[in-house]
Amino acid sequence: MSQDYTSVEEMIQQDPVFGQVSFNNHEQIVFCNDKDTGLRAIIGIHNTVLGPALGGTRMWQYKNEWEALNDVLRLSRGMTYKSAITGLNLGGGKAVIIGDAKTQKTPELMRRFGEFVHSLSGKYITAEDVGMETEDMDTVREVTPYVTGISQDKGGAGNPSPITAYGVFMGMKAAAKYKYGSDILEDKTVYVQGIGNVGETLVEYLTQEGAKVVVSDINQGKLEEVRDKYGATIYGGTNLYAEKMDIYAPCALGATVNDDTVDLLNCDIVAGAANNQLADEQKHGKRLQERGILYAPDFLINAGGIINVYAELEGYDRTEIMRKTENIYTTTIEILNRAHETGVTTHQAALEIAQARIDARKQEQLA
């Protein structure tokens, strides 16, 4: 795929679903509508070769349906590669609910959404993403078993975000090891953009290690809370991308490495939790490489959350979750070495390894 992010104006020039640039041979796309609860959702099932398509549900106030569809197509594809590179027997899927999670999310709407998930008989398994809480997954669980990320007291593995943050921290340390020869982040300046569920825990790990952490968020109250709790500095400038820093950690929404920012970035490493950080994987991945900025592939280093929810399906414990998440360090080093040896971008190197695993399984299934 040469380009997987585009403007709404460009999107409406193309066929609405299969013609979109973000469409990537997805197996199934399910549009869910319920007048009574106001539910409008799209479930994207990208690939189920390695197992059921598992991926979170995002509730967001999309500008229009094009934007929502584009997001679910991109996110579900990302899940396929995330699970494949992490060695999990899961396919890739994702769901988006169109609406404001603060004002439009109700238990009735979540239950109705759960019924749609249930109608897919386990081909898609949901979890939480932006705009969702563990309690929402508990509500979905009332109507379907095909949900993970439910509360610990209901038999689930609980909120995956702290594990995701640990994995990002491991991936960041691996990138530092590769770039600087040491994975100690003490005194490194790290900008964490977005201090929500994942970002805040990442700030905790970083400040514990003595990194100089600068935080930015659209939520002023949260900024002050995180500053007071961990001693982080609140970003006060107008263009974060142009600031001199060692590590940029995008932990809000995706596509922040784009045409407008890629040449501004003034850092050594990009390593964060956000999904789909590169607006155009090939173009912006290549540009980072040319500029000598090391990119730790997002779908590799933010896999802690999926490892956590996978534990619910496989029944393994916290020790095993942490061991698998810690292993992100080793996999990141392997990918960075492979990219260097083969001359491809780090993102491409990770994709190739993930795709090879899917292809091998498909061959086994055909044999």
Ligand X SMILES: NC(=O)c1ccc[n+]([C@@H]2O[C@H](COP(=O)([O-])OP(=O)(O)OC[C@H]3O[C@@H](n4cnc5c(N)ncnc54)[C@H](O)[C@@H]3O)[C@@H](O)[C@H]2O)c1
Q: Given the residues 35, 63, 82, 94, select the one marked as catalytic.
A: 94
Sign of CA dihedral 324, 356, 295, 174: positive
Binding of residue 219 to ligand X (CB under 6 A)? yes
CA angle 5, 65, 46 (to 5 degrees): 60
Binding of residue 253 to ligand X (CB under 6 A)? yes
Given the complex with ligand X, which of 47 and 216 has the nearer CB atom? 216
Q: Is residue 94 flagged as an active site residue?
A: yes
Given the complex with ligand X, which of 129 and 246 has the nearer CB atom? 129
Give the residue nearest to ligand X (CB).
196
Tell me which residues in 114-153 interact with ligand X (CB under 6 A).
129-130
Among candidate residues 15, 60, 24, the one with its CA nearest the CA of residue 42 = 60
Among 25, 218, 239, 314, binds ligand X (CB under 6 A): 218
Given the complex with ligand X, which of 221 and 343 has the nearer CB atom? 221
Residue span 170-199 as binding mask against ligand X, x where in contact by CB under 6 A, dash where not: -----------------------xxxxxxx
Given the complex with ligand X, which of 54 and 195 has the nearer CB atom? 195
Binding of residue 236 to ligand X (CB under 6 A)? no
Q: Cα 73 vs. chain centroid, distance in angstroms?
A: 13
Among 76, 80, 86, 164, binds ligand X (CB under 6 A): 164
Q: Which residue ranges make up the site for ligand X (CB under 6 A)? A: 129-130, 160-161, 164, 193-199, 216-219, 222, 251-254, 273-275, 302, 305
